[in-house]
Amino acid sequence: MLAPDRYFTPIPTVRATAQALYDEFGSLPLVCPHGHVDPKLLALDEPFSNPAALIVIPDHYIVRMLYSQGVPMESLGIPRLDGGAVETDPRAIWQRFADHFYLFRGTPSGAWLAHEFEGVFGIDEPLTSATAMRIYDRIEASLRRPEFRPRALFERFKIEVLCTTDAATDTLEFHRQIRESGWSGVVRPTFRPDLAINIRHPQFAAELGRLSAATGEDITSYAAYIRALESRRAFFKSMGATATDHAAETPFTAELSAADVNALFGRALAGKATEADARAFTGHMLMEMARMSTEDGLVMQLHPGSDRTHNAAIFEKFGPDRGCDIPIQTEYTRNLKPLLNKYGNDTRLTLVLFTLDETTYSRELAPLAGHYPCLRLGPPWWFHDSLEGMTRFRYQVTETAGIYNTAGFNDDTRAFPSIPARHDVSRRVDANFLADLVARHIVSLDDARQMMRALTYELAKKTYKLD
């Protein structure tokens, strides 16, 4: 059912060029520098349980769409924090999913799932209410076979390297198990210290406790806190990490004086930090993280601009990452100025910027990345990791920043079996974009071939120092 020329422009000459570029470069190994696959999966290499648990329940793209049309979270088996009853029959969940599968027409989830069903599981009919149980049976049967275990899929997917995302205090135990197992797959951790930096988070004190335990630092001062974070970065690096990652509501950066940051950190330790303190501390710590990156060489990633608990009722009942995250307007030019003025001309720093606010592509991000040597633009993120979203990114960014100030593709996914589909969509978008440039005589075919190789493979490796 998957058309070989899917997603390409329906102008025959352009389509043929896109197909040729895709055919030449579309099957290069997958470089996955940023994502949320659980390393436990690859450490234990146990079979996946069932289609609903694998495909429906953990996928917030799927859950949010069904919920938006009135399907209760409980009926999809989303666990309640209070332990209340939810649907436990995976077949009932799958049927409900299939009944509403039409909602995904024209969405990236629709495209990824089509690829996953046919490309990974060999399903040869569309998912509908009528075919739901037959398809469930086929996927379930596959999952019992050894070639559908995580490591086998990793190899079949031709993943060259997979980076996970891990809290600053994570023991990286599963990463250690993978490395010591003798398996050849390359899985790297990424240092994500959000919880250790968010001084108003209910778990901040507990996270500092773990940070102390992991580093032996007695974190009673800002200086000790900084030493502990530097120590963890060194540990992550020793375990293969090449990057850090940071979420923040805004990309605000500003350095505090030593006196101010000491006083502020004191309030944080005492549990007396205000909202203003938290904002100031995040802005300060982004500067600190950039400083550390100039020293230890870890690539810094910044993912700002999401209100992650927009729907309080759902957040309280089901917890985070259930689709209640809503983007907010984001400003980079002024917010990043302090950081860029201090570290932006330092070629030891690589800072990869992401956004959920597409208006910043041509107005702020491309001009910034087209000037500061430290900057690279991450691929379209989250809601924009889609055919149209990635296409808009290329057309709005390339003229000012070129392609060489962009960072290649991230799949950014929790959904392990969707990885090939996501890279495939990205590669098709890039092939199509380049074919259009060729057709309009903006670049030559030979230039386009070099650009295609860069976009699909080289830029991700180079930006994230994965060579």
Site for a second copy in 68-107 (CB under 8 A): 68-70, 102-107
Using CB under 8 A as the binding rule, whether residue 344 contacts a second copy is answered as yes
Q: Least distance in Å: CB of 336 to a second copy?
A: 9
Using CB under 8 A as the binding rule, whether residue 331 contacts a second copy is answered as yes
Interface residue with a second copy among 46, 124, 260, 399 (CB under 8 A) is 399
Q: Least distance in Å: CB of 367 to a second copy?
A: 5
Q: Least distance in Å: CB of 456 to a second copy?
A: 16
Binding region for a second copy (CB under 8 A) out of 4-12, 27-35, 80-88, 237-245: 4-12
Q: Least distance in Å: CB of 61 to a second copy?
A: 9
Q: Least distance in Å: CB of 368 to a second copy?
A: 6
What is the phi/psi pair of residue 253, to 5°?
-135, 140
Using CB under 8 A as the binding rule, whether residue 405 contacts a second copy is answered as yes
Q: Which is nearer to a second copy, 296 or 346 (CB)?
A: 346
Q: Least distance in Å: CB of 143 to a second copy?
A: 27
Report how far residue 416's alpha carbon sits from residue 41's, in angstroms, rounded to the nearest whole number: 9
Report how far residue 14's alpha carbon sits from residue 98's, in angstroms, rounded to the nearest whole number: 35
Please give the size of the binding site for a second copy, defined by CB under 8 A.
Answer: 92
Using CB under 8 A as the binding rule, whether residue 129 contacts a second copy is answered as no
Using CB under 8 A as the binding rule, whether residue 318 contacts a second copy is answered as no
Interface residue with a second copy among 165, 253, 398, 463 (CB under 8 A) is 398
Q: Least distance in Å: CB of 124 to a second copy?
A: 14
Among all chains, which residue has been given the structure tokens 């520098």? Answer: 33
Burial degree of 213 (CB within 10 A; 0-12, 13-18, 19+): exposed
- SS3 state at 189: coil
Q: Which is nearer to a second copy, 219 or 425 (CB)?
A: 425
Question: Kindly report the CA angle at 196 between 194 and 199, in degrees rounded to 5?
Answer: 95
| Residues 353-392, interacting with a second copy (CB under 8 A) | 356-359, 362-364, 366-373, 375, 383-384, 386-389
CB 291 within 8 A of CB 343: yes
Query: Long-range CB contacts (< 8 A, 24+ apart) of 399-405?
Result: 399/366, 400/362, 400/366, 400/367, 400/370, 401/365, 401/366, 401/367, 401/369, 401/370, 401/377, 402/370, 403/451, 403/454, 403/455, 403/459, 404/454, 404/459, 405/366, 405/369, 405/370, 405/375, 405/376, 405/377
